[in-house]
Amino acid sequence: MAATAEATADNPALALQAEILARPATAERRMADAIRALAIDAVETAKSGHPGLPMGMADAATALWTRFLKFDAADPHWPDRDRFVLSAGHGSMLLYALLYLTGQAGMGIDDLKRFRQLHSPAAGHPEHGEHPGIETTTGPLGQGFGTAVGMALAERLLAARFGRSLVDHRTWVIASDGDLMEGISHEAASLAGHLKLDKLTVLWDNNSISIDGSTALANSDDQLKRFAAYGWATRQVDGHDPAQVSAALSMAVRSKKPTLIACRTIIGLGAPTKAGTAATHGSPLGPAEAQAAKAALGWNYFPFEVPDGILEQWHRVGARGAVARRAWLKRIARHPQKAEFERVMAGRLPEGFHEAIGALKAEFAQSKPKLASRQSSQKALEALVPAIPELVGGSADLTGSNLTLVKGMGTIGPGNFSGRYIHYGIREHGMAAAMNGMALHGGIIPYGGTFLIFSDYMRPSMRLAALMRQRVIHVHTHDSIGLGEDGPTHQPIEQLAGLRAVPGLYVFRPADAIETAECWELAVRRADGPSVIALSRQGLPALRTNDATENRSARGGYLVADANGGRQATLIATGSEVSIAMAAREMLAADGIKVAVVSLPCWQLFALQDDAYRAQVLGSVPRVGIEAAAGFGWERWLGLDGIFIGMTGFGASAPYEDLYKHFGITAEAIAGAVKKRLGQ
Ligand SMILES: Cc1ncc(C[n+]2csc(CCOP(=O)(O)OP(=O)(O)O)c2C)c(N)n1
Ligand SMILES: [Mg+2]
């Protein structure tokens, strides 16, 4: 409502707009106007969408794409292309217009006419996978920014590994006020500044408007000072002056630091009454204002019409990178690391990597170690890291607890990208977004650690990894009340249920050393989605001691111990509680009661098995689920008359053995519940 009131004659942006529109209509201005017109038309046609950002940032984006962005419309997958991230995903029409105008297959004018309609690649917000030019899914503000930091980091890591002749590109971001207000931008910018990711440039759409109105309602940060404090180079420019934007972009290319360019813009530039107001942010201009905007821009064409001359100019921009790409193709053709580079970029694992895991499992079967699963995980990493050079690890300041570092990885630091281990600092959200960016960039399989409880701090990025089907591996240790004395703030209760609810996110919770090795193998092999490996702090006995060859976790759930005929109940557990179930099974056997024990390390994989297998595993006798966490979701496996033994509220601070007793997650409690159910 306030926006409509603002959109009157006393709108102070209008005087400035008049001055900007009165500037000579250069070729560049006409090219930018094509973006504006397409954004207006697509949003009008869809009757929804966000015209303000594309109209405001059209000039800056035109400067970037026509003079700086290295890409070739003929091959949007070219590995050495620059990455362009529209972090402010609501301005999606800016990206779609650029993809169309530069002549990229798969984003035709008919797709723009179907903006925001079912099966159109021009979705409401940019969706990775809908078009190769959409480098990442954006829309949740700040995510694109954090993801871009990971892309820029991936570029540096691969350049260190393969050399500049194969890897030498930049990452460009358009970010809005909202992107910079989000907490993740702080973590991501701080990390990028620390690491000196000098090939990262952010163009900030500094329009001082967000949905509620002026950004001054909620924000008085001095963004330039903030970024300077993070170690960034900064510039302030008139975002409607291509010469100023280009000069700043040239500076960014030379800078030894990541660069923030604050582009002063008018949101919805061209709209005669609504420009400069929140009214242009997220609604169609309306037929009258839309028409008047085009008139003000001197754009006298039919809807979705771009005159041939302007389209040709844009197509030349799309072909501008062809020379560079051909030169690159020549370089890679005779590069000694050609095969390896192509392998990692294709996401193919090295031949025989699993032999290292096979050997480890055989060793575990023999030594039957009692290890915390976080320790088993470290042993799995000791096998995997040397075998898979594209694995890049890290932790959000919990390296010694997550046990994510193994010998010989080498540490990544400011300007030093020869290592394979990242100290992310206490920046869980930034870490998760950066991992997404590295996976999206290609050539890297990122894994990163923190406590399971702090998955809450990174959930938005984990969700996007699942939505984008990216191979990102989260190592989440201290996965229950079993962490003990640190108490309820640190003890995850509802996190497993919450993570299991994310479509496509595999949540592994291995029960012993062999299962841990198996889950790691599955997570690494999974090329089309993210995984969480939930690991214990406390020691776990070896359960699998004679069947190490088959990866039994691959079916998501299996019988660890059968009832040996006449099964009277099935105990179903995950992770650290499987050994408790095994103890209950023995106790019950002493009383002549036969129960089977099922380990369910990955619900998502178990759900993919056929009905017959699941029925055989779960059995038709009473079921008892055991997990030191909330029971939410367990009814899926237990049925309505199943028994759940776990947590009903928050944990407490005490040695873990006392906590298991206190909360009644014990072999005795399980045995008692079974007996009661069986009427014995
Ligand atoms: C995490 C998150 N919170 C809220 C939103 C809803 N939202 C979309 S755009 C926006 C802010 C708009 O302001 P700005 O980022 O400056 O974009 P502009 O209006 O200038 O295009 C908000 C709150 C969102 N997309 N993501
Ligand atoms: Mg804004």
* Short-list 308, 291, 269, CA closest to 22: 269
Tell me the backbone φ, ψ of residue 417, rounded to 5 degrees: -120, 25
pLDDT at 350 over 90: yes
Work out which ligand 1 atom sits closest to the CA atom of 140: 26
* Short-list 148, 151, 212, 199, CA closest to 175: 148
pLDDT value, residue 9: 56
Q: Average pLDDT, whole number, for the chain?
A: 97
SS3 449: strand
Higher pLDDT among residues 548 and 437, named by residue: 437
Q: Is 79 in the pocket of ligand 1 (CB under 6 A)?
A: no
Work out which ligand 1 atom sits closest to the CA atom of 50: 21
Full 3-state SS string of 634-660:
CHHHHCCCCEEEEECCCCCCCCHHHHH
pLDDT value, residue 372: 98
Rounded CA separation 476/459 (Å): 13
Catalytic residues: 428
Pairing of strands 371-372, 539-540: antiparallel
pLDDT value, residue 2: 40
Q: Residue 545's pLDDT band (boundaries 50, 70, 90)? A: confident
Rounded CA separation 243/237 (Å): 10
pLDDT at 10 over 90: no
621-646 pLDDT, tens digit per residue, is 999 999 999 999 999 999 989 999 99
Q: What's the CA-to-centroid distance between 139 and ligand 1, angstroms? A: 8
Q: What residues contact 424, with CB distance under 8 A and at least 6 apart?
A: 191, 394, 395, 396, 397, 430, 431, 434, 448
Q: Which tokens hold the place of 485?
A: 């004395």
Pocket test for ligand 1, best of 50, 176, 180 (most atoms within 8 A of CB): 176
pLDDT at 91 over 80: yes
pLDDT at 533 over 90: yes
pTM reported for the whole predicted model: 0.97
502-520 pLDDT, tens digit per residue, is 999 999 999 999 999 999 9
Rounded CA separation 597/618 (Å): 9
pLDDT value, residue 548: 80
Q: Residue 4's pLDDT band (boundaries 50, 70, 90)? A: very low
pLDDT at 43 over 70: yes
Q: What's the CA-to-centroid distance between 282 and ligand 2, angstroms? A: 11
pLDDT value, residue 564: 85
162-202 pLDDT, tens digit per residue, is 999 999 999 999 999 999 999 999 999 999 999 999 999 99
Share of the chain above pLDDT 70, in %: 99
Q: Is 529 in the pocket of ligand 1 (CB under 6 A)?
A: no
pLDDT value, residue 585: 98
Q: What's the CA-to-centroid distance between 173 and ligand 2, angstroms? A: 15
pLDDT at 127 over 80: yes
Work out which ligand 1 atom sits closest to the CA atom of 205: 20
Q: Is 276 in the pocket of ligand 1 (CB under 6 A)?
A: no
Q: Is 180 in the pocket of ligand 1 (CB under 6 A)?
A: no
Q: What's the CA-to-centroid distance between 90 and ligand 1, angstroms? A: 7
Is the CA virtual torsion 488, 143, 508, 404 positive or negative?
A: negative
Strand ranges for 461-594 from DSSP E: 473-477, 506-508, 531-534, 539-540, 558-561, 569-573
pLDDT average, residue stretch 240-265: 98
pLDDT average, residue stretch 76-83: 98
pLDDT value, residue 547: 76
pLDDT average, residue stretch 331-351: 98
pLDDT at 7 over 50: no
Strand partners, 451: 477
Q: Which tokens hold the place of 84?
A: 């362009």
Work out which ligand 1 atom sits closest to the CA atom of 181: 15
Q: Is 281 in the pocket of ligand 1 (CB under 6 A)?
A: yes
pLDDT value, residue 1: 36
Q: Which tokens hold the place of 203?
A: 């163009």
pLDDT average, residue stretch 220-233: 98
Q: Is 269 in the pocket of ligand 1 (CB under 6 A)?
A: no
